[in-house]
Structure 1
Amino acid sequence: MPERLEENSSASQAVVAQPALPVKIEDEGKVKSRGLSPSRIIWKKLRRNRTAMFGLYILAGLYISAILAGFIAPYKYDNAAHDFPFYPPMITRVHFFDEQGNLTRPFVYGIIPDDPTLATYHDDKEKKYPLRFFVRGESYHILWIIRSDIHLFGVDEPGRIFLFGSDIVGQDIFSRILYGAQVSLSIGIVGIIISTIIGMMIGAAAGYFGGATDFTLMRLVEVVLAIPSLYFILIMRQMFGTSLSSAESYLIMLIIFVFIGWAIEARVIRGMVLSLKEQEYVIAARALGYTNTRIILRHILPNTLSFVIVTATLTVPFYILSEAALSFLGVGIQEPDASWGNMLSAAQTNRYLYDFPWMLIPGVFIFIAVMAWNFLGDGLRDAADPRTLG
């Protein structure tokens, strides 16, 4: 008996004396991510992507500027100073010091044309026009609702301020870029929202019901995807002629873009629904007698939103570039209304490119907007990767 007690005692000591086994500690970020919805996880990961956040901030600035175009722009898009065509950018000609080198209120000099045919000018240093803020000018509407005539900055007449220069008829390019952003940027957002809704409905129906419904809808999707997009857009737009107003042209372009854009969304949604409809919560909803419409709208489609947003974000640049191409070719938004595409159409000749390079500034904004959307889309795609959401 004592021998057994001694054996038990020695065994217990051996157990106590054994070194503790290493405990695997989970990554703190993964622990904190547990219990969060997929959208919260995606947003958390997106915020750590500097390139994507840079694109998001750029887009926020562009869209806010477009909404407040009437307030920020010193002139309306069709305000022309015919005496000052092709005036070079004044952004470096806003003076902050007087002739004695003393700091003063920002001002610009008057403009004296040298040769109207060559579009050369020199400053009239006898006339100074102080840069004023929150000045009254031409009336405008913000979001077609708020009416105002207050502008962020401006100069007294007959002075003019052309921050980005003027075009062939003396219109302020800076003001027209802001107004043009309302068209070029909005058509991407409006178009992708409509095409996404249509694509989600068709893709969900194909994936959920399967069979003949799936076969018919997917063949339709394949037909639409097989159409050469740019050529189809040009042909369809040309069929309506060039005598339409800018509002009618905008609507026609929007319809064409939606027609060729919904198929991509439908194919993505169909693939996701094929997987989601076999999940336990969907099977339980069927067992409870819920209608197919309720199951699709309440239980399936909400779980696809994160990935739909990624696809939509990567598609917006196509809409922006398509509108710019049509307007550049003269079958989109018509003068005197402004869009980035029709502003670029004035820079088609070699003389304009060499002598008046500021006419290409709208193209710079197209490039910035497209790159910002691509940065954001790539960041969302990485953040929504299913392999990293667990």
Structure 2
Amino acid sequence: MTQGQYGGPADPDAHYVSDEPYDRVADLQALDRKDLDASTRVLIWRRFRRNKLAMVSGLFLLLLYLALPFAGMLAPYDPAARNSDAIFAPPEHVDFFTAGHLAVTYPLESAIDMETFQPVFTPDLEDPRPVRFFTSCGASYTLFGLIETSFRFVCPPEGASLHLWGADRLGRDILSRIIHGAQLSLTVGLIGVAISFGIGMVVGGLAGYFGGWVDAIVQRSIEIVRSMPELPIWLALSAAIPPNWGPVAVFFMISAILGLLDWPGLARAVRSKFLSLREEDYVRAAELMGASTGRIIGAHMMPNFMSHLVASATLSIPAMILGETALSLLGLGLRPPAVSWGLMLNDALDLTAVEIYPWLLAPMAPVILVVLAFNFLGDGLRDALDPYA
């Protein structure tokens, strides 16, 4: 194409033609039109889908939470079942497609090492035992709180054990306890975030919308709460829980403690956003039309802040999980017979035991994976929920 004196087209009616193939230019133009015609929800999904790490993390967490009601089916043992012959038993060896079976394990023969006085387990490789699948075994459990059954996906072989991740100091299966412990460790984060977000949105929304003395009281309250050291307050409130309370009451109290101490950050973020939103034209129009304060905040202002709320909630859940784990690790959180990842790690406080029995640290793996998954998912949602950025 001929050029003018200053590099422009010689013919003013001429159009710029890209050096790229025509098909690629047409595809890009079609993609732009498709994005312009798409709704905000579609744009959010497309942008979130581009973040592969967030997609994988979201799928992992979704499967994890969907599996929580079926913990009894997934775990080969009851979490409280003890095997006196498998105290501190190491992870067992499993062979697949052996002796005409899908999976086989071997009976463990225990002996005492006379030099270290520690139990030594040796598998009897001459006696393979087939692992049972999709059958009933062990103690019964209640499915969905309605159906009592003992059906499990994987069951130990007849006359042998199946401690895939080893056993603890009481001979309890670590893998089964991790699966059952996920029910409390993952749920406490959801309840804690629900409490903190309920308080933070109400308090921060009122402070940002009304301003004046309401804002001053809320700001001073936030400053007082944030000036307190969080961990000692956690420990003090957890230690104040009566020792005669049951596991369910302690669980909800721990969730409330975690939620009550986490609301100031969200309240301050909601307040700052509302201070700017209350000057928008649509808010003024709603006020002139006589809309109530609750409707203006809930139906007009809060949806414009929802993307930040969703991302903040996703990023707050791992902090709740770590808080429960830390309290239970120190013996101030959930109490036996409840099962959580923090309670299991409490057995690993003895460094000598950890050095000899490293499989006691197995509950660290799900804690790390879940926290990383929530962080990756939160980062992906924070970017995707603002598709026009």
1:274-325 C-alpha deviation (Å, 9 max, x unpaired): 2222222222222221111121122222222221011111111111111001
Unpaired segments ≥5 residues, structure 1: 1-14
1:73-115 C-alpha deviation (Å, 9 max, x unpaired): 011111111221111112x4244323xxxx5332212222212
1:28-62 C-alpha deviation (Å, 9 max, x unpaired): 65543335554543332111111211221222233
Contact 1:207–1:274 under 8 Å retained in 2:
yes
Contact 1:78–1:337 under 8 Å retained in 2:
no
Relative distance call for 1:226 and 1:44 in structure 2 (3 A) is: farther
What SS does the corresponding residue of 2:109 show, helix, strand or coil? strand
Q: CA deviation at 1:376?
A: 1.0
Q: Kindly, what percent of the aligned residue pairs are identical?
A: 35
Relative distance call for 1:41 and 1:212 in structure 2 (3 A) is: farther
Q: Does 1:209 align with 2:203?
A: no
**TM-score normalised by L of structure 2:** 0.87
Equivalent AA in structure 2 for residue 71 of structure 1: M
Name which of 10, 16, 20 aligns with 2:14: 20
Q: CA deviation at 1:123?
A: 2.2
What SS does the corresponding residue of 1:354 show, helix, strand or coil? helix
Aligned twin of 2:108? 111
Contact 2:307–2:382 under 8 Å retained in 1:
no
Equivalent AA in structure 2 for residue 83 of structure 1: D
Aligned twin of 1:97? 98
Matches within 5 A, 1:108-257: 108-115=105-112, 118-125=118-125, 127-137=127-137, 138-257=139-258
Equivalent AA in structure 2 for residue 52 of structure 1: A
What SS does the corresponding residue of 1:88 show, helix, strand or coil? coil
Relative distance call for 1:330 and 1:121 in structure 2 (3 A) is: same
**TM-score normalised by L of structure 1:** 0.87
1:249-298 C-alpha deviation (Å, 9 max, x unpaired): 21221111111112222112112222222222222222221111121122
Equivalent AA in structure 2 for residue 286 of structure 1: E
Relative distance call for 1:296 and 1:257 in structure 2 (3 A) is: same
Contact 2:273–2:305 under 8 Å retained in 1:
yes
1:144-163 C-alpha deviation (Å, 9 max, x unpaired): 34543211110244322111
Contact 2:188–2:320 under 8 Å retained in 1:
yes
Relative distance call for 1:271 and 1:72 in structure 2 (3 A) is: same
Aligned twin of 1:83? 85
Matches within 5 A, 1:196-345: 196-345=197-346
Relative distance call for 1:154 and 1:46 in structure 2 (3 A) is: same
Name which of 38, 48, 51 aligns with 1:46: 48
CA distance in 2, matches of 1:50, 1:262: 31
Relative distance call for 1:201 and 1:52 in structure 2 (3 A) is: same
CA distance in 1, matches of 2:144, 2:261: 28
Aligned twin of 1:66? 68
Contact 1:77–1:337 under 8 Å retained in 2:
no
Equivalent AA in structure 2 for residue 235 of structure 1: A
Contact 2:185–2:341 under 8 Å retained in 1:
yes
Aligned twin of 2:388? 389
1:161-220 C-alpha deviation (Å, 9 max, x unpaired): 111111111101110000111111111112112221221111111111111111111221
Q: CA deviation at 1:21?
A: 4.2
CA distance in 1, matches of 2:273, 2:41: 16
Contact 1:242–1:331 under 8 Å retained in 2:
no
What SS does the corresponding residue of 1:237 show, helix, strand or coil? helix
Higher mean C-alpha deviation, range 285-294 or range 338-347: 285-294
Relative distance call for 1:29 and 1:257 in structure 2 (3 A) is: farther
CA distance in 1, matches of 2:307, 2:375: 17
CA distance in 1, matches of 2:285, 2:225: 36
Higher mean C-alpha deviation, range 325-334 or range 30-39: 30-39
Equivalent AA in structure 2 for residue 134 of structure 1: F
CA distance in 1, matches of 2:41, 2:307: 6
Contact 2:97–2:103 under 8 Å retained in 1:
yes
CA distance in 2, matches of 1:219, 1:27: 54
Aligned twin of 2:21? none
What SS does the corresponding residue of 1:347 show, helix, strand or coil? coil
Unpaired segments ≥5 residues, structure 2: 1-8, 19-24
Equivalent AA in structure 1 for residue 237 of structure 2: M
Higher mean C-alpha deviation, range 202-211 or range 63-72: 63-72
Aligned twin of 1:346? 347
What SS does the corresponding residue of 1:121 show, helix, strand or coil? strand
CA distance in 1, matches of 2:265, 2:146: 35
CA distance in 1, matches of 2:186, 2:369: 12
